[in-house]
Chains A and B, each alone.
With several copies, the nearest count.
Chain A
Amino acid sequence: MTAASLETELIGLPLSSPVINGSGTFDAIAAGRVFGERALSSENFPFSAYVSKTITEQPRAGNPPFRTWEAPAGMINSIGLPNPGLAHFVEDHLPVLRQLPVPLIVSVMAEDRDGFSRLVEGVTAAGGVSAFELNVSCPNVHSGLIVGESGKEVEGLLDRLGSFTDLPLIIKLTPNVARPEEIAEAAEAGGAAAVSLVNTLKAAALDPASDRPWLGAGSGGLSGPAIRPIAIQQVRSVSAAVSIPVIGMGGITDGESALDFIRAGASAVAVGTENFRDPLAGTMVRTELARALERRGIETIGELRGAAST
């Protein structure tokens, strides 16, 4: 059996495997503090690229507790994007993240195009970053529209950001729309280097004891295996609609489920909630993915990409 190669290329970045992390589901700095620096070595780091938790211009404390609820084969979260803000991120976090043995993708979110511009400009200037992921699951304070729900907003945002960074821009699509492929097409038209999906699905749970919503924020987003069939379908229709690469995620728990996203058309996959169940989930998925290819007698992941996209 020939050892299958997982090496791949994504938006110009050579990756040792297609397995990266979902933003906000693995804190490399905390992992280094908890497990020791060895956790961030090139032998041990679980992902082939690292996507930071979403940062905003101003610091955010995040949402009041409770922030998580365990759902059938998944979880709901309403973390509220706690982050140190642009300045501290550049000062305190970037120097550490830059040292990671893999390319760094910084996830950013803002209330309007100017905010996004200042974020990408500031982070680009600081250096050591390979790409941005734009978290557009938020309203544009001027139009009032959720950026990720409007093709026009997405395209307009991308147009604007072009003059503030030369780095590739990835649009993180929200699954809470009727036709994500239309938003993806707008992203491609606006010059996005790639799209990633899915983000979490709007969800809520009630406190069994009181008559209040369980989550401090009232509602949150569903992730985990429960949403995988929805994510697979969205990745299929988005991959069929655009020619830029697709980063697929949503309930990946092992090599077979990762392979399903690739067969559905994804060029890379992201592991999210499974990181909470297994701090080395990324490594496990990568290893199983190689085995799955070997079982199929396939030598490179590319051979299977999109095999079942339509």
Chain B
Amino acid sequence: MLPDRPEPPLGRRLLSVVEARDEGAFRLLTLLDDEGPEPLPGQFYMVTRAPDWGGGLGRPYLPRALSFAGTTGMANGVSIEFLLDEVGPGTRELSRLSPEDECWVAGPFGRPFSRAGELTEGAAGAVLVGGGIGIAPLAPLRRDLIARGVPTRVLLGFREPAAAGGVDRLFGCEEVRVAYEAGSDSPARVTDLLSVVLAGDDAGRSAVYSCGPPGMLEAVRRMCADRGVTAELALESPMACGYGACFGCAVPRRDGGYLRLCIDGPVVRGDEIESAEAGEAGS
């Protein structure tokens, strides 16, 4: 077993949908997991509509990787929340599910976020930087940090108010700052908020955690590198299997070669990779 990771059940399992509702621009899907362990913030699952995908012309075909956005312990298992951004046929079908429907699920998989203390020697606090659907894995991370008494600031960014979703439900409002690139009276990027925070003197002693679009992640990565702040980033790449079988999820390592993002990630330290944009189409 990989150190400090909960052991997922063998193979895949059928889980039923217990709740499905819109959260702003996103869809919140809750499954009841009566077999699997509590996942750790940053981990993900491979999800397929059951009995199988409904792609009339053959797509979707592979399972889809989804970070969990929250969990609740229940008498009969763990209920797992997923936040969905409908970008194509797979997320579309998952967004159409309703209670009583079922999904094939494998996981939890992947390397979770590190504890603040492990990431930053004697960390004074944590800064969470999320963009778009990338806010999903930060929600359970925030709860975990707060439970551990780590002072935590949350900075979230969206293209525009209409593109936001899940903020109140997943984060509660206190301590959360949201930036909109457009459509608000004070347009800003989440990285603008971050630079202000990092300008503060305890910056060097805070642990930064981020997830969002590649461009944003790369900006966060550089900003932190420049200021000598350690940052962990939750990356994405096309994942066919999620458990190390296909070698498809390659992300270039800083020191040459590639990470298998599904097992060596999805969470990586900023200095482990060349760029958070590598692997973007045509890069």
Interface residues of A (CB under 8 A from B): 24-27, 30-31, 33-39, 44, 53, 61-75, 77, 79, 82, 207, 209-210, 212, 214, 216, 224-226, 253, 273, 275-280, 283
Contact = CB atoms under 8 A, between A and B. Distances in A.
B104 A278 contact: yes
B278 interface: yes
Contact of B237 (A30, A66, A253, A275): A66
Interface centre among A24, A33, A44, A71 (most CB of B within 10 A): A33
A75 B61 contact: yes
A73 B240 CA distance: 13
Contacts of A65: 237, 250-252, 258, 278-279
Contact of A30 (B238, B245, B252): B245
Contacts of B10: 35, 38-39, 44, 279-280
Given A61-B256, A65-B250, A277-B62, A72 B245 contact: no
Nearest to B107: A34
Contact of A79 (B59, B109, B246): B246
15 contacts: A31-B244, A34-B109, A34-B263, A35-B10, A36-B7, A65-B252, A68-B240, A79-B248, A82-B250, A273-B240, A277-B61, A278-B11, A278-B104, A279-B12, A283-B11
A253 B55 CA distance: 14
Contacts of B257: 61
Given A71-B58, A277-B63, A31 B281 contact: no
B88 to A, nearest CB: 9
Lowest 6 A-B CB distances belong to which pairs? A30-B244, A72-B58, A73-B58, A280-B11, A65-B279, A212-B282
Contacts of B1: 33, 36-37
Interface string B51-81: 0000101111111000000000000000000
B12 A62 contact: no
A76 to B, nearest CB: 10
A25 B250 contact: no
A66 B57 contact: no
B247 interface: yes
Nearest to B281: A207
Interface in B241-272: 241, 243-252, 256-258, 260, 263
B246 A276 contact: yes
Contact of A66 (B7, B58, B238): B238
B151 interface: no
B199 interface: no
B252 A64 contact: yes
Nearest to A83: B247
Nearest to A69: B238
Contacts of B57: 72-73, 225, 253
Contact of A34 (B59, B60, B243): B243
A68 B248 contact: yes
Given A35-B243, A67-B250, A70-B61, A212 B11 contact: no
A224 B282 CA distance: 25
A225 B281 contact: no
A33 B250 contact: no
Interface in B94-136: 104, 106, 109
A278 B51 CA distance: 13
B244 A34 contact: yes
B210 interface: no
A279 B240 contact: no
B2 interface: yes
Contacts of A39: 10
B8 interface: yes
Given A53-B247, A61-B258, A224-B61, 11 more contacts: A33-B1, A44-B10, A61-B257, A67-B250, A68-B238, A72-B61, A73-B59, A210-B281, A216-B279, A278-B11, A278-B106
A33 B63 CA distance: 21
A25 B246 contact: yes
B261 to A, nearest CB: 9
Contacts of A26: 245
Contacts of B61: 70-75, 224-225, 277
A225 B63 CA distance: 15
A39 B237 CA distance: 26
A278 B244 contact: no
B62 A276 contact: yes
A65 B1 CA distance: 27
A82 B141 CA distance: 33
A4 to B, nearest CB: 23
A61 B259 CA distance: 10
B126 to A, nearest CB: 28
Contacts of B8: 34-35
